[in-house]
């Protein structure tokens, strides 16, 4: 996304917060009138909101004309919101309709940015639900572990990354892989992100979800590759050192890979710290050749 779409996304995410936090949103107003008390949205309401937003995102992903109509810069914001209202009124909850109308009023650089924004809102709502249930740590761990499964299975990665593969077939495959093994929120996130037309590389898509969950927990992620498993004490020490280096909490996601031979490869965002023996041997070889 460029600056215009990022600003639009910021606006609709703020609206999501207004709708789902105490004393602000549609989800709680009905009960407020009955009880006189403020409350945040329940986990069930947040899950339902996420499910509807994902459905809207899939609709926009598959309907080029519709997403262009909702992001057409030549139409007024009110007209674009009216298109959303006529399409969705009575078919989705008030909160979902409010968010889609809010998104339609924004200025998007590309119609596909509107699709991405809707999926981002759905992901935020799902992670809100996980946080409300006290499951956020578990969801992050399940996403990371599934990402490792995808990375280690070339055929699975190929199928899930194939934009031309039928969404129903991918959904059925994911159901077989995930049913009874992960939480419903983890399954919702993976199913919706990996069956879209613009999924791209499946491993990267799952990694972005895992990072979103970690960010929600208030920490960055360090992906650590090591030749041998680290002890709990070693992981704690490494997390402390990285936290001091980056001046923020760092969570570790550790992958064992004998190919690094020894040492560690650490990636935080786009920055890589390669202290592996394999890297040192490769560098020594380059120097000898030079």
Least confident of 13-22, 77-86, 140-149, 273-282: 273-282
Asked whether residue 38 carries a pLDDT value surpassing 50, the answer given is no
pLDDT tens for each residue of 82-139:
999 999 999 999 999 999 999 999 999 999 999 999 999 999 999 999 988 999 889 9
Q: Are strands 271-274 and 264-268 parallel, antiparallel or unpaired?
A: antiparallel
pLDDT of residue 26: 54
* Contact call for residues 256 and 228 (beta carbons, < 8 A): yes
Determine the Cα–Cα distance for residues 242 and 91; give it in Å rounded to an integer: 48
Q: Mean pLDDT across the stretch 44-68?
A: 95
The dihedral through the CA atoms of 236, 242, 245, 250 has a sign that is negative
Indicate the pTM of the whole model: 0.76
Asked whether residue 12 carries a pLDDT value surpassing 90, the answer given is yes
pLDDT of residue 246: 81
């Amino acid at each position: 996304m460029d600056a215009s779409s990022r600003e639009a996304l910021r606006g609709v995410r703020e609206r999501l917060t207004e709708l789902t936090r105490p004393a602000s949103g549609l989800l709680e107003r009905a009960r407020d009138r009955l009880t006189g008390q403020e409350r945040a949205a329940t986990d069930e309401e947040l899950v339902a909101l996420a499910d509807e937003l994902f459905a809207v995102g899939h609709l926009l992903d598959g309907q080029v004309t519709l997403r262009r109509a909702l992001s057409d810069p030549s139409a007024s914001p009110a007209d674009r919101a009216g298109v959303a209202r006529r399409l969705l009124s009575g078919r989705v909850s008030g909160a979902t309709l409010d968010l889609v109308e809010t998104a339609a009023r924004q200025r998007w650089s590309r119609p596909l940015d509107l699709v991405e924004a809707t999926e981002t809102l759905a992901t935020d709502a799902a992670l809100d639900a996980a946080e409300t249930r006290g499951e956020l740590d578990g969801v992050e761990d399940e996403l990371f572990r599934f990402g490792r499964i995808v990375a280690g299975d070339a055929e699975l990665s190929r199928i899930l990354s194939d934009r031309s593969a039928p969404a129903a077939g991918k959904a059925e495959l994911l159901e077989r892989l995930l049913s009874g093994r992960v939480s419903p929120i983890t399954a919702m996130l993976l199913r919706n992100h990996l069956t879209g037309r613009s999924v791209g590389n499946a491993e990267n898509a799952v990694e972005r979800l895992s990072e979103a969950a970690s960010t929600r927990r208030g920490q960055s992620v360090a992906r650590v590759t090591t030749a041998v498993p680290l002890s709990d004490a070693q992981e704690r020490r490494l997390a402390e050192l990285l936290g001091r280096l980056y001046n923020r909490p760092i969570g570790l996601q550790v992958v064992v890979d004998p190919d690094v031979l020894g040492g560690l490869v650490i990636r935080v965002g786009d920055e890589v710290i390669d202290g592996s023996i394999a890297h040192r041997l490769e560098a020594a070889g380059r120097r000898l050749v030079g």
